[in-house]
Structure 1
Amino acid sequence: MTNDYDVVIVGGSLAGRYAALLATQFKAKVALVESQVDYGLIYRQAMGQIAHLAQSGDNLANFGLPSIHTDKDAKLLSAINWEEAMLYSQGVVANIQAQTSPSVLAAKGVDVIFGSGQFSNTPDLAFAINQRRLRGRTYLLANGSRPAIPEIEGLKATGYLTLANIWQAFKAAKPPQDWVIIGGVPQSIEIAQTLAKLGCRVILIINHPYLIPHIDPEISQLLLAQLETDGIRVLTEAIVSQVRKIDDKKWLQVGDKAIEVDEIVVATAQQPNIESLNLPVANVKVSQQRLLINEKLQTTNRRVYACGDVIGGYDFANIAQYEAKIAIKNALFLPKFKVNYSHIPWAIFSEPTLTRVGLTPKQAQRRFGNKEIIVLRQYYKSTAAAQLENQMTGVCELIVSRKGEILGATIFGKEARELINLIALAMSQKIRVQQLENFSPIYPSFSEILEKIAGEWNYQQLHHDLARQEWLESFFYFRRSWNL
């Protein structure tokens, strides 16, 4: 049985469902194939909120906690009713899922097919599933990724958890108290803080010099200091060589250190879910387990597009949705839209939150030269809102050109995810930094820091202009003197 569609979406992610809904707005005939949607991000966010409330003692009854504050040790971890906590998380996921549920998709005209399939080229290209052949004018791969497990001696035999199944550990009568996280992705930082808030002892192992590459080292150090303040032991430039299980404990050899823990979480990288798709018959090429795509999100088969973490990189929902917009418009119409990540923000949901958009100082210097950029910084302690709420840990960094064009920003602090959205909007609309001086935010609010950073730019420009004026005056003075 063969069915024809404008686009066949190989889903299994929120981006896949978002793409299907978007395609229906263009009156397209859409098929969505999915086996299981990964809601791990929502679960982690919900559990992080539980940990925050449990640590602060707020709304404890909602999560089966006693009405009194508990000590920050194993008592807090054991005090939480994890059955109630999981019900809360499942409720959050259900509410979000309802917005793009199969019934909603079907009502919009999407043909939703459950199961796993693969490409077939007999007699022509189609996606085969459940004895059906879904023949599309175009195809979109949006089937996400899964944790990549490093080759470490003894790891598989000893056992481990990943970001996808970590919460299973809390169903035990006695949840693990000592954890090690073999990290490398932003979510490893998030989960480390969540566990620490629950009173667990946490060691985070990173194999590179900084927590997160490609951000300002000063800001990376601020985040590292915050993790250490939270009681997290961070080992950078550290490599796990082997893992063993002795009695009921797990042992890791990290350089010359032997570490004993209750549980191991592997969060080093993600790998795309592409092995079962039979991509060679669709002439879709892969290099080093990554899809080869162009800036229009086309694979090596121009009829097959891809979006989200199936194409590699970190798992950020907003970036996946942005890519889905580009891919669907190119798949349904002329392929003329190109991805431009320069004004798309991303965030690490640490506490405080770390966010970024555009270029870092080093990237801007390499592209434009040292003399053509200005790095502006304002610290949270300079704002009234930070003082009032005792949230003074934080910094706002803007990278701008000499003409005031905003090239990038990194914000670490309270409400950073909202502030970075404003900067990203300004960048997309080509609003220059000097125009932010006209921004009069509610006082007190954390948005005040944007007004202050615009003032810093104007201050630097004034001094730059004065210095230039003094140089010109000196130049013409000596020239007149020489002519005399």
Structure 2
Amino acid sequence: MAEWIDTDICVIGGGSGGLSVAAGAAQIGASVVLIEGHRMGGDCLNYGCVPSKALIAAAARAEAHRGSAPYGIAADEPAVDYAAAMEHVARTIAAIAPHDSVERFEGLGVRVIQARAAFISPSEVEAGGHVVRARRFVVATGSSPLVPAIPGLDGVPYLTNETLWDLRERPGRLIVIGGGPIGLEMAQAHRRLGSEVVVVEALKALGRDDPETVAIALSRLRAEGVEIREGAKVAAVSGRAGAIRVAIERGGEIEGTHLLLAVGRRANVGDLGLDKAGVEHTGRGVTVDAGLRSVSNRRVYAIGDVAGGLQFTHVAGYQASLVVRNALFRLPVRNRTDIIPWVTYTDPELAHVGMTEAEAAKSLPKGWEVHRFDFSRNDRAVAEGRTEGLIKIVVARGGRIRGASIVGPHAGELILPWALAIGQGMKIGAMAGVVAPYPTLSEVSKRVAGAYFTPRLFGRPWIGRLIRLLARLG
């Protein structure tokens, strides 16, 4: 006999978004059931953000050996223990895992069911011999690596961001299909750890970001020895473990020992029984309104990757807060995308929020401006020998901040005040007026904001006349 459970909120998926909903709702006082059929913590903890940044950190230590000569330290080629680097990744996951564990959430009062979930009606979900009836459901099942239909791929061993972390032997020559953030982060990390790396991208690498800032990041990767082939569509794959061949359309073949697929992600909507629940969905995910509520079943919300929008952990967390407010308190909410920053964790990092220059040209009325400031003019960057970088902002008529792109060291940290400014509708004068500690990289934000006022204050004849008039008045 199935156990019947009645609850306020049933969360399907124990990744970052689902865990945020479950924790928030339970601490407010709602009854919560959380269903997870695989690993608590989801993709971010187990396969994505956490392990990739841990490997990037290991790779940065190796690169520091090679680049130490300008600082008076003897440079050398580091002896890399790839297996030990991967053990660092595993330890990092293990250290963070308790925060996402079943035990922690049960301690918060959440009923956790470790089983696959599927809707059996518009108001019921079955999981592991339990039938859950809820006032509200939150689908937070995330996404999985997209495996493209490449001829021959089914006969060749390949890696994804889910299986990469099982490696303990360093790839001799890694072929990466896909020049997006995941592909390029892993390409640079493996190059720094001693692998030869070739990235194959059908269009433009990091095509969603501002081309001017992307060029700086790609230049650094190429200088480190990462081969990046843009406009190269894969025609077929062949070979065997340790000897893989990737054929490129219009001729050419690339040989390598390992193959990593990083061509995008697909929403996890299969086997959820969404049709039985009357929940409209596509290959991109659940079809939701501006409040992240299903357009066809008002009991159901979707957040994170499965909601069909930007696929970032922090987006899932942001959307979780919106759903808790709406589902429990019936407060009106709106899922905003213009305030969402994103970061590519190459070195130099690439960060963005709001409009790019190209987007501004298409949608903003006349009078908008772009201003830039180079890291080479920042004293802290000069002191650290990290002068490759640029901050670029879009300012609408009237001084309203509409976008910022940064490429350089710690760009992911530097983007936060710009996300705040755009979210709060601030004007450029607020950033120009802030007092930044010296010497810090954060001064680039103040300096680029000041660049907006430079032509307005200097070179204007009437300002000089005003100053002379005030001087005569004592």
Normalized against structure 2, the TM-score is what? 0.90
What CA distance in whole angstroms lies between the structure 2 residues aligned with 1:257 and 1:464? 56
Which of the residues 67, 73, 77 maps onto 1:71?
77
Residue 470 of structure 2: aligned partner = none
Residue 472 of structure 1: aligned partner = none
| Matched position secondary structure for 2:439 | coil
CA distance change for structure 1 residues 392 and 266 in 2, over 3 Å: closer, same or farther?
same
Q: Deviations over 1:93-145 (max 9, x none)?
A: 22222223211111111001101120012xx6211011110111010011111
What CA distance in whole angstroms lies between the structure 1 residues aligned with 2:256 and 2:28? 53
What CA distance in whole angstroms lies between the structure 1 residues aligned with 2:34 and 2:240? 47
| Matched position secondary structure for 2:402 | strand
Deviates further, 431-440 or 142-151 = 431-440
Residue correspondence of structure 1 range 233-252 to structure 2 within 5 A? 233-245=227-239, 248-252=242-246
Residue 474 of structure 1: aligned partner = none
On the 8 A contact 2:157/2:240 being kept in 1, the answer is no
**Paired amino acid for 1:402:** R
On the 8 A contact 2:119/2:273 being kept in 1, the answer is yes
| Matched position secondary structure for 2:391 | strand
Residue 364 of structure 2: aligned partner = 368
* Cα shift at 1:268: 0.2
* Cα shift at 1:365: 2.2
What CA distance in whole angstroms lies between the structure 1 residues aligned with 2:82 and 2:145? 28
**Paired amino acid for 2:353:** V
| Matched position secondary structure for 2:34 | strand
Deviates further, 442-451 or 48-57 = 48-57
What CA distance in whole angstroms lies between the structure 2 residues aligned with 1:244 and 1:395? 41
* Cα shift at 1:87: 3.5
Q: How many residues align?
A: 448
CA distance change for structure 1 residues 334 and 245 in 2, over 3 Å: closer, same or farther?
same
**Paired amino acid for 1:138:** R
What CA distance in whole angstroms lies between the structure 2 residues aligned with 1:289 and 1:342? 20
Residue 138 of structure 2: aligned partner = 140
Residue correspondence of structure 1 range 290-309 to structure 2 within 5 A? 290-299=285-294, 300-309=296-305
Residue 96 of structure 1: aligned partner = 96
What CA distance in whole angstroms lies between the structure 2 residues aligned with 1:448 and 1:219? 18
Residue 473 of structure 1: aligned partner = none
Residue correspondence of structure 1 range 227-376 to structure 2 within 5 A? 227-245=221-239, 248-255=242-249, 256-299=251-294, 300-334=296-330, 336-369=332-365, 371-376=366-371
Q: Give ranges in structure 2 of 5+ residues lacking alignment.
A: 67-73, 464-474
CA distance change for structure 1 residues 298 and 389 in 2, over 3 Å: closer, same or farther?
same
Residue 471 of structure 1: aligned partner = none
CA distance change for structure 1 residues 219 and 132 in 2, over 3 Å: closer, same or farther?
same
| Matched position secondary structure for 1:164 | coil
On the 8 A contact 1:18/1:100 being kept in 2, the answer is no
**Paired amino acid for 1:423:** W
On the 8 A contact 1:126/1:134 being kept in 2, the answer is yes
Which of the residues 166, 169, 186 maps onto 1:168?
166
Residue correspondence of structure 1 range 20-59 to structure 2 within 5 A? 20-35=22-37, 36=39, 37-38=42-43, 39-40=46-47, 41-57=49-65
Is 2:405 the partner of 1:399?
no
CA distance change for structure 1 residues 332 and 465 in 2, over 3 Å: closer, same or farther?
farther
Q: Deviations over 1:335-375 (max 9, x none)?
A: 62111121221111111110000111121222223x32110
On the 8 A contact 2:304/2:316 being kept in 1, the answer is yes
On the 8 A contact 1:296/1:335 being kept in 2, the answer is no
CA distance change for structure 1 residues 9 and 274 in 2, over 3 Å: closer, same or farther?
same
On the 8 A contact 1:361/1:399 being kept in 2, the answer is yes
More helix per residue: 1
* Cα shift at 1:291: 2.0
Q: Give ranges in structure 1 of 5+ residues lacking alignment.
A: 59-67, 469-484
On the 8 A contact 2:123/2:135 being kept in 1, the answer is no
CA distance change for structure 1 residues 464 and 116 in 2, over 3 Å: closer, same or farther?
farther
Residue 105 of structure 1: aligned partner = 105
Residue 201 of structure 2: aligned partner = 206
Which of the residues 11, 15, 28 maps onto 2:13?
11
What CA distance in whole angstroms lies between the structure 2 residues aligned with 1:391 and 1:294? 44
What CA distance in whole angstroms lies between the structure 2 residues aligned with 1:177 and 1:460? 53
Deviates further, 99-108 or 345-354 = 99-108
Residue 153 of structure 2: aligned partner = 155
On the 8 A contact 2:292/2:307 being kept in 1, the answer is no
* Cα shift at 1:158: 1.0
What CA distance in whole angstroms lies between the structure 1 residues aligned with 2:331 and 2:275? 23
What CA distance in whole angstroms lies between the structure 1 residues aligned with 2:460 and 2:271? 62
Is 2:116 the partner of 1:116?
yes
**Paired amino acid for 2:345:** F
* Cα shift at 1:465: 7.2
* Cα shift at 1:466: 6.7
What CA distance in whole angstroms lies between the structure 2 residues aligned with 1:443 and 1:349? 25
Is 2:85 the partner of 1:85?
yes
* Cα shift at 1:239: 0.7
Q: Deviations over 1:63-91 (max 9, x none)?
A: xxxxx97637xxx4xx4161x43333222
What CA distance in whole angstroms lies between the structure 2 residues aligned with 1:272 and 1:185? 17
Q: Deviations over 1:209-234 (max 9, x none)?
A: x2122322211211221111121111
**Paired amino acid for 1:308:** G
Normalized against structure 1, the TM-score is what? 0.88
| Matched position secondary structure for 2:338 | helix
What CA distance in whole angstroms lies between the structure 2 residues aligned with 1:246 and 1:454? 54
Which of the residues 418, 425, 436 maps onto 1:430?
425
Which of the residues 214, 220, 227 maps onto 1:226?
220
**Paired amino acid for 2:361:** Q
